[in-house]
Amino acid sequence: MTHEAGNRNIRTVSPSRREVDLFVPPALVEPEIESILSGYASRAKLPGFRKGTAPKDLVKRMFLAEIRQDAVESLIPKALEAELKSVDLRPVSVPVIEEAHFEDDETLHARVGFEVIPEFDLPAYRKIRLRKAPAVVDEKDLDRTLEDLRQRAAEYVPVEGRGVGAEDYVAVEIQGRDLKTKRFFPTEKSIVLAGDARNEKDLEDNLAGMKPGEEKSFTVAYPAGHDNRKLAGKSVEYKLKVQSIKEKKVPPLDDDLAKTLGDHKSLEDLREKVKAALLSSREKESRGKLAADLLENLGAQVKVEMPRSLVEDETRAVLRRILGSYPESARLTKEQAAGLAAESRRQAEANVRNNIVLSRIAREEGISVSEAEIQGELEILAEANHVPLAKVVETVDKEGRRGDIEENILFRKTIDFLLGQAIME
């Protein structure tokens, strides 16, 4: 059975999945087999022959299956690339050779499966109605932010002439000893905020009033059900030493403080700049909420089969981001892990749907990204990370992230376009 080059049979398995039959004629197969055979022959070391001297016919008989498999892996990607280019199909998953065999006349026949972005009907997207929450900064917000700045400007001053009091920061050294085994625990040095509700009561009671350099011993009998299993059911004698005491001195909210916090002429100047910064932040939050509502509105109207490979890749990415917010020591129950997996899948499906819809709208509206815009984004990255631009460009190109940056810019521009067309209520 002979097939001419260019003969193809592309099947739609589902809206997002395609299969293509590829036929590579003997005129292309035979030279490839011969080339691969020559490589095997030059490396083969068979009984009775020095390396590279065994007859090709013998090498071919012994390694025919391997040679043909190499030919499949060499010829099929080239044939597939040509076929897809001729019909303008762009796989979004790595094509998989699902079946391959050589026919009687040495024609190579392979069936390859892959996923594509499916076609779908776009909803009316130019006049979406959105409710815009006003960006407002009230006096309470402003006062709260200024108080936070005042607290962060506090100094910690060594205490003189008195012992530990509430809200003092105390440098302590403490060591425990199991009274039953007489075994000492490691000495611990830490900073304790006196009066903090999270402190153990025994520590609080004994720490109160102690002065720098003072030492004290006390015993704690831990119940069998104590949260710390290493201490549960044990009686421990502690030796506590106060190394230093500092109290927090918060400066008054006045012109002098304002001048220390940056290029501010007075407290009123600081208030105005803080208010402007808060307002800018609220406006960004409002715009972000509008963008989220816009995408949710569009996503609810679009019926599209999403490529499984894209959803699976995005699910892993979302899960990595979620787990990255957990402390390394955190241990999840099976129920928690299952919940995170389900939430990651839900977010991933929404993300993939949004990206598909935005890409389609960008194509419909002729929205594109220029090289100058990519360069501008790279400059922003360099400045934000305090890294030379050349280093950022090198890293981005090395990691193959330029396409991701271009896509992010495209999506931002498309959302800006849609928000500009939306009807605000």
- Considering the domain architecture, whether residues 33 and 88 belong to the same structural domain is answered as yes
Measured distance CA(381)–CA(389) in Å, rounded:
8
- Considering the domain architecture, whether residues 244 and 268 belong to the same structural domain is answered as no
Instruction: Decide if pLDDT at 253 tops 80.
Output: yes
Percentage of the chain lying above the pLDDT 70 cut: 98
In a domain, residue 58? The reply is yes
The predicted pLDDT at position 3 comes to 37
pLDDT tens readout for residues 376-414: 999 999 999 999 999 999 999 999 999 999 999 999 999
Instruction: Decide if pLDDT at 15 tops 80.
Output: yes
- Considering the domain architecture, whether residues 243 and 271 belong to the same structural domain is answered as no
Among 2-11, 206-215, 266-275, which stretch is predicted with the lowest mean pLDDT?
2-11
Q: With cut-offs at 50, 70 and 90, classify the pLDDT of residue 8.
A: low
Percentage of the chain lying above the pLDDT 90 cut: 83
Measured distance CA(122)–CA(142) in Å, rounded:
44
What CATH number is given to the structural domain containing 356? 1.10.3120.10
In a domain, residue 121? The reply is no
- Considering the domain architecture, whether residues 27 and 95 belong to the same structural domain is answered as yes
- Considering the domain architecture, whether residues 264 and 190 belong to the same structural domain is answered as no
Average pLDDT, the chain: 92
Q: Note down the domain range covering 88.
A: 9-115
More confident residue, 279 or 7: 279
- Considering the domain architecture, whether residues 316 and 411 belong to the same structural domain is answered as yes
Give CA angle at 311 (308, 316), nearest 5°.
125
Closest CA to 424 of 267, 329, 305, 290: 290
Q: Are 241 and 173 within 8 A, CB to CB?
A: yes
Q: CB-based burial of residue 18 (10 Å sphere; 0-12 exposed, 13-18 middle, 19+ buried)?
A: buried
- Considering the domain architecture, whether residues 75 and 109 belong to the same structural domain is answered as yes
In a domain, residue 373? The reply is yes
Instruction: Decide if pLDDT at 68 tops 90.
Output: yes
In a domain, residue 63? The reply is yes
In a domain, residue 357? The reply is yes
pLDDT tens readout for residues 98-140: 999 999 899 999 999 999 999 999 999 999 999 998 889 999 9
What CATH number is given to the structural domain containing 221? 3.10.50.40
In a domain, residue 123? The reply is no
Q: With cut-offs at 50, 70 and 90, classify the pLDDT of residue 49.
A: confident
Q: Which two tokens stand for residue 291?
A: 């963008």
The count of structural domains within the chain is: 3
pLDDT tens readout for residues 226-237: 888 889 999 999
pLDDT tens readout for residues 307-343: 999 999 999 999 999 998 888 777 888 999 999 999 9
pTM equals: 0.72
Task: Give CB contacts under 8 A, 24+ apart, made by 82-86.
Answer: 83/8, 83/10, 83/20, 83/22, 84/20, 86/6, 86/8
